[in-house]
Amino acid sequence: MTMTDAATPANTVLGKRRLRKEDPALLTGEAKYTNDLNIPGALHLAVLRSPYAHARILSVDVSAALAMPGVVAAYSGADLVPLWAGPMPCAWPVTADMKNPAHSPLAVAKAAYVGDGVACVLATSDAAARDALEAIDVAYEPLPAVVDLEDALSDRVVIHDELGTNKSYTWDLKCEGAEGQVDRAFAEAAYTVSEHYVHQRLIPMAMEPRAVAAVPQPFGGDITLYSSTQVPHILKVMTAITLGIPEHQLRVVAPTVGGGFGAKLNVYAEELLCTALARKHKVPVRWNEERTENTQATIHGRAQRQHIELAADADGKLTAVRVRLLADMGAYLQLVTPGIPILGAFLYAGVYDLPVAYDFSCTSVFTTLTPTDAYRGAGRPEATYAIERAMDALASKIGIDPLELRKRNFIRKEQFPYLAFSGLTYDSGDHELAADKACELADYTGLRARQQAQNVEGATKRLGIGISSYFEMCGLAPSRVLASLNYSAGGWEAATVRVLPTNKIQVVTGTAPHGQGHETAWSMIVAEKMGVDPDDVDVLHSDTAIAPLGLDTYGSRSLPVGGVAVAMACDKVIDKAKKIAAHQLEANEDDLEFVAGSFSVKGSPDKAMPLAAIAFEAFTAHNLPDGLEPNLEAQVTYDPPNFSWPFGTHICVVEVDTETGDVEVLTYVAVDDCGNQVNPLIVDGQVHGGVVQGLAQALYEEAVFDEDGQPKATNLAEYLVPAASDVPSITLGHTITPSPTNPLGVKGIGEAGTIGAAPAVINAIVDALSGLGVTDMPMPASPQTVWKTIQSAQGAMK
Amino acid sequence: MIPAAFDYVRAESAEHAISLIGQHGEDAKFIAGGHSLLPMMKLRMAQPSVLVDIGRLADLSYIRDAGDHIAIGALTRHMDVEKSSILAEHVPLLAHAASHVGDPQVRHRGTIGGSIAHSDSASDLPATTLALGATYIAQGPNGTREIAAADFFQGFFTTSLEPDEMLTEIRVPKMNGAGWSFQKFNRRAQDWAIVGVAAWRRGNDSGVGLVNMGSTPVLATSVASAISSGASVADAAELAAADADPQKDLNASVEYRVHLAKVLVRRALEESSK
Ligand SMILES: Cc1cc2nc3c(=O)[nH]c(=O)nc-3n(C[C@H](O)[C@H](O)[C@H](O)COP(=O)(O)OP(=O)(O)OC[C@H]3O[C@@H](n4cnc5c(N)ncnc54)[C@H](O)[C@@H]3O)c2cc1C
């Protein structure tokens, strides 16, 4: 692994590799996850789930379950209807005519996927509750499953009777001035490609499945909801609305959360069930998800069919992009389900300079499968995959090196800030630099020579080189842009910085870390700004009573929005401290400078006052300037003026065993540019994990269902999450193009690795096999799939 | 992931274990390393009423040189098989195969006896001991008997062990310098084989065992007889699936399994013939 240290010389903390302060508690088992909480007297909830993908619920008989030892209550979906003040929330009605089926925490009339909750039990132990599920008698009338997207679109079987159709919506991206341009560009093109790709369904599979505990205060009326969630703030608002609880009586806490990857950016049935039943029974109610349950009852990701067409002139310069998506919503719309394909809508031209000729349309349908929603990258890996695979197809059509084609089309450095066809402004970038750096690290020229020597006629071990250059649109998001996309919330983030009397600093953040390392990173930002040691900074988060304002963690937003808010709050505190310093030093504010945690009069360094002294003055308030409030604390709510636009180039080198179809990744180079880095160690970790997740989509993972909608990958033996021994050593490189959008110059890095990886891997496999007539490779490229693809390509060549 | 309720008794000796099993009848089961049984219980695919724990019978954990063969106690953990210097010298194929079982946690808990008694055709050690011509020793209320590996595996998870019989020892003939190869084809390092091949060869004598190529571990006798009658490795390997009855699953169709078996048997014989 190569490490590039991104430290800016002027900084003392920012940009330096620093171990994470979160890790000792996590590594020693001291950290408390939701299921570790000791909650005396809690009842355990277990949910009976439909074994059918699609079935009418004729009757539910819980009487035998009620007679089981330890069982306190058992309910059918119909029994609980009075508890719901509103439907399960979907916060993203992407079009005015979007169809959204009725969805309640337990199904009442119909089960619409395997895993859909139909009844539940409360018992004195988890084991007793789960045993009792077996005694519930549900009479089902099985109905035909709808698994295939085209089949869904045909309305052969309509899943939600009240909608009359399986189509949820069609969303078009209307680019000003594009009218007629696209057709003209295709008519006049020297080269065109028309490619079809499938993004298989993926299971996010956080190491910690979900867990919930709702603890009521029967006589005070308040209730605390603990949940393994990425979105305590959103969950609080939505739970209050859905259950009709006065919002001020609800507190949401996310204890240590063992990964989310977007799957915990949601409001789930079990959160609502625990809260409602805890209120009803006036005792705590908790639920812990099993692994198999997690593969069915927690959202899935991706699940799209893509048709992308590119038009190019004689030099290979792109002249138009046309995209048609068919997206699988699953059985219901969860919190942001319909918006996921839309998050990718702007990126199907990738890092390339494209005139206004862009035509995007997405149609989304219901199936009788687990609902889909956000999964690491959410829409953007899909977009990047399509354009980067199609660029390879175009290069092969033109007969030039895929790297050369990319270079001819990159948005050039001097074109930034770049106003894109979509009306969005890409604030910064240097794609050529990132690509050059990746090529240098991978020895691209050497590899091509090696490949020529190795992939001779009859060779059974074939070398392939895949490139993927990506643009990522993250740091969600400018609230006004979200408004234009019909998203029902803003994109701001809040931070409070509080200097305690003894000069220790508390940061309150609205972000909700679940593995990312915000405590370390926010401490470093504060340390740099305030001249204190990062260990003297405490970061408070993920509890709506402590951090009441926030919009949580997803969409690689935490640093470019939440971290920036922290930095801005520091500036506000420093401004206030300066007033106190000026007052105490009897100097003019303009004559003061703040260096290494101390204010001094420019030119006379002995006239100085350290922050520690000011903090104490602010606390005692004995001698403050007239009109200045005591205490040293500031709050900032920051609404970003633009997205953040990280980018990079990944190169994957594979060797394919054509006899068995086995793919070995020999080299993986990732050059990512996330602007200024707060902690390069965390950046590397995010890229490692992200790359592995993309590689997992390319090679291993798939939520397989049979034609009856029965899930076939329901545990970690069947759903192939790669382990450390299955992934290559990743060579990392970075370029640094600071974001001009925010004062820290930072961009998100949480999803970039995943976005870049899958197309790099598949491009490499197709490249390895191009001599055998292979032009595409479905994901996951399992050995069997690779072998079959070679067989049919060979058959076609004969 | 919570098994159905069951009772638990710990055996103090082989005899004790056998009498406990006799006492509790039909639904009682031995538990050794628990690494096949417990996953099935958690999925409620197995619901024994009583578990008779033989996991601590230390006197059944050994690897001894017994002249023409090596005797391995049924409770010997995979890790001890993998690390045994006696096996490294006399039956290197078995030691190597054990190193491919699951991951280190599995190898520290799982036992060779449990693996063979469980008789999962996708497991590595049943097919390997079969290829090596092993003999298994079973002990029941009326004494012990020898069962040739070739007679042991009856069908999907079924063996010729009586319900009240316990596997106590595995006897593996010394390889006497035969060439060998173990080809495990899987997607992730800790996974079961999609197809696996355990093979050895000394001149025209050979043994080839197939993993996950049917409802039982498979002895590829057609391959061995082709080799003994002088066929080339490539030709013999074409017969790889002749004795097998492979099934399809998420990872492989029947056609792909048969193809893989041919490729892997060829590679295994090439390596064994060096
Ligand atoms: C994650 C994981 C990965 C694995 N990967 C592999 C792999 O790659 N390859 C592989 O070969 N195996 C693999 N295994 C299985 C592992 O090797 C098991 O340990 C082994 O198959 C069973 O041995 P055990 O001692 O754990 O048996 P147990 O689970 O205790 O018992 C299994 C069965 O055998 C019976 N039994 C046990 N001992 C005796 C005895 N002495 N006499 C009679 N009956 C007995 C039990 O009653 C039970 O029915 C894996 C297991 C896990 C959990």
Ligand 1 centre to CA of A717 (Å) is 15
Mutate which: A125, A131, A296, A660, vs B, most B CBs within 10 A: A660
0.95 exceeded by the pTM?
Answer: yes
Which amino acid, one-letter code, is at B3? P
pLDDT cut 70: percent of chain A above it: 99
In Å, how far is B189's CA from the nearest CA of chain A? 6
Residues of chain A contacting residue B190, judged by C-beta atoms under 8 Å apart = 723, 725
A-chain residues near B1 (CB < 8 A): 290-292
- Where a domain ends, among A638, A654, A689? A638
Contact criterion met (CB < 8 Å) for B188 and A782? no
Is residue A742 over pLDDT 70? yes
Nearest CB partner across the interface for A292, out of B1, B185, B194: B1
- The tally of domains found in chain A comes to 2
Residues of B in contact with A291 (CB under 8 A): 1
A680 domain residue, yes or no? yes
CA of B176 to the centre of ligand 1 (A): 29
Nearest to B189 among A718, A726, A784 (CB): A726
Q: Given CB atoms, is B105 within the 8 Å cutoff of chain A?
A: no
pLDDT at position A125 over 80? yes
A727/chain B closest Cα distance in angstroms: 9
A649 and A791 housed in the same domain: yes
Do A619 and A678 reside in the same domain of the chain?
Answer: no
Residue A217 scores a pLDDT above 80: yes
Whether chain A has a CB inside 8 Å of the CB on B145: the answer is no
Nearest CA in chain A to B267: A659
Distance between CA A580 and CA A238 in Å, rounded?
Answer: 42
Q: Is B190 an 8 Å CB contact of chain A? A: yes
Contact A120, A106 (CB under 8 A): yes
Q: Are residues A453 and A519 in the same domain?
A: no
The span from the CA of A311 to the CA of A184, in Å, is 10
| Ligand 1: nearest atom to the Cα of B74 | 41
Tell me the one-letter amino acid at A524.
M
Average pLDDT over chain A reads 96
Q: Are residues A448 and A540 in the same domain?
A: no
pLDDT score at A220: 87
pLDDT of residue A174: 84
Q: DSSP string spanning B158-196?
A: EES--TT-EEEEEEEE--TT-EEEEEEE-SSTTSPPSEE
Q: How confident is the model at residue B4 (pLDDT cuts 50, 70, 90)?
A: confident
Residues A790 and A771 reside in one and the same domain: yes
**Residue B161 CA, closest ligand 1 atom number:** 43
Same domain membership, residue A704 and residue A565: no
A302 within a domain of the structure (yes/no): no
Say whether pLDDT at A6 is over 50: no
Q: Which amino acid is at A168?
A: S
Q: Is B39 in the pocket of ligand 1 (CB under 6 A)?
A: yes
Closest partner residue to A787 (CB to CB) among B188, B192, B256 is B256
Look at B189 and A718 and tell me if their CB atoms are within 8 Å: no
- The C-alpha atoms of residue A720 and residue A699 are separated, in whole angstroms, by 9
Query: Residues A583, A705: one domain?
Result: no
pLDDT digits (tens, 9 = 90+) for B111-140: 999 999 999 999 999 999 999 999 999 999
Token code pair at residue A114: 């395997």
Considering only CA atoms, which of B93, B79, B78, B265 is closest in space to residue B185?
B265
Contact B4 A131 (CB under 8 A): yes
Assess B194–A contact: CB distance below 8 Å, yes or no: yes
A692 belongs to a structural domain: yes
Best probe of the A interface among B40, B188, B251, B259, by most A CBs < 10 A, is B188
- A486-505: pLDDT as tens digits: 999 999 999 999 999 999 99
Burial class (CB in 10 A: 0-12, 13-18, 19+), A401: middle
Please compute the mean of the pLDDT values over residues B233-256 and round it to a whole number: 97
Q: What distance in Å separates residue B2's CA from the closest CA in chain A? A: 7
Of A433, A429, A419, the C-alpha closest to A471 is A429
Q: Calculate mean pLDDT across residues B162-178.
A: 97
Residue A783: pLDDT above 50? yes
**Ligand 1 pocket residue status of B30, Cβ below 6 Å:** yes
Which backbone phi and psi does A368 adopt, to 5 degrees? -95, 55
| Nearest neighbour of A660 by CB, restricted to B4, B185, B190 | B185
CA distance B244 to chain A (A): 19
- Separation of A784 CA from ligand 1 center, angstroms? 27
Asked if residue A213 is part of any domain, the answer here is no
Reported confidence tier of residue A87, pLDDT bands at 50, 70, 90: very high
DSSP B5: P
How far is ligand 1, taken at its centre, from the CA of residue B34, in Å? 6
Name the nearest CA neighbour of A334 among A461, A445, A456, A238.
A238
Q: What is the pLDDT of residue B2?
A: 80
Same domain, A630 and A529: yes
Tell me what the mean pLDDT of segment A764-780 comes to. 97
User: Which DSSP category does A337 fall into?
Assistant: G
Relative to beta strand A662-673, strand A730-734 is parallel
Average pLDDT over all residues of chain B: 96
Decide which of A638, A665, A690 is a domain's last residue.
Answer: A638
pLDDT, tens digit (0-9, with 9 covering 90-100), for A580-613: 999 999 999 999 999 999 999 998 888 999 999 9
List chain B residues with CB under 8 Å of A123. Answer: none
Judged against a pLDDT cut of 50, whether residue B26 lies above it is answered with yes
Are both A795 and A750 inside the same structural domain?
yes
Encode pLDDT of A177-194 as tens digits. 888 999 999 999 999 999
- Domains belonging to chain B, first-starting first, are 7-53 (3.30.43.10), 58-173 (3.30.465.10), 182-272 (3.30.390.50)
Residue A455 lies in a domain: yes
With vertex at residue A747, the alpha carbon angle to CA A744 and CA A749, rounded to the nearest 5 degrees, is 135
Contact status, residue A779 vs residue A697, Cβ threshold 8 Å: yes
Same domain, A585 and A628: yes
Ligand 1 contact via B262 beta carbon (within 6 Å): no
- Render pLDDT for B192-208 as a digit per residue (tens, 0 to 9): 999 999 999 999 999 99
Within a domain: residue A784?
A: yes
Kindly state whether residue A590 falls inside one of the protein's structural domains.
yes
Q: Is residue A480 classed exposed, middle or buried when 0-12, 13-18 and 19+ CB atoms within 10 A define those classes? A: exposed
Q: What spacing in Å lies between the alpha carbon of B133 and ligand 1's midpoint?
A: 21
Distance A783 CA to ligand 1 centre (A): 27
A619 domain residue, yes or no:
yes
- Specify the pLDDT at position A8: 47
Q: What is the pLDDT of residue A371?
A: 98
- Residue A49 scores a pLDDT above 90: yes
**Which of A2-6, A269-273, A460-464, B172-176 is least confident?**
A2-6
Q: Measure B237 CA to nearest chain A CA, in Å.
A: 14
- Centroid of ligand 1 to alpha carbon of B241 (angstroms): 26
Same domain, A522 and A619: yes
Distance from CA of A456 to the nearest CA of B (A): 21
Give the pLDDT mean for A50-58. 98
Cβ neighbours of A782 in B, within 8 Å: 187, 251
CATH number, domain containing residue A600: 3.30.365.10
Instruction: Give the 3-state DSSP-derived string for A674-742, with helices as H, strands as E and coil as C.
Output: CECCCCHHHHHHHHHHHHHHHHHHHHCCCCCECCCCCECCCCCCCCCCCCHHHCCCEEEEECCCCCCCC
Does A339 have pLDDT greater than 90? yes
Instruction: Give the domain-ending residue among A638, A655, A690.
Output: A638
**B82-122 pLDDT, tens digit each:** 999 999 999 999 999 999 999 999 999 999 999 999 999 99
Nearest to B1 among A290, A718, A723 (CB): A290
B112 lines ligand 1 (CB under 6 A): no
Do A614 and A673 share a domain, yes or no? no
Range of the domain at A566: 492-638
Separation between Cα atoms, residue A759 and residue A495, nearest integer Å: 37
Cβ–Cβ gap A723/B263 under 8 Å: no
Q: In chain A, whose CA is at the least distance from the CA of B192?
A: A717
A725 and B189: CB-CB below 8 Å?
A: yes
What pLDDT is stored for residue A9 in this prediction?
52
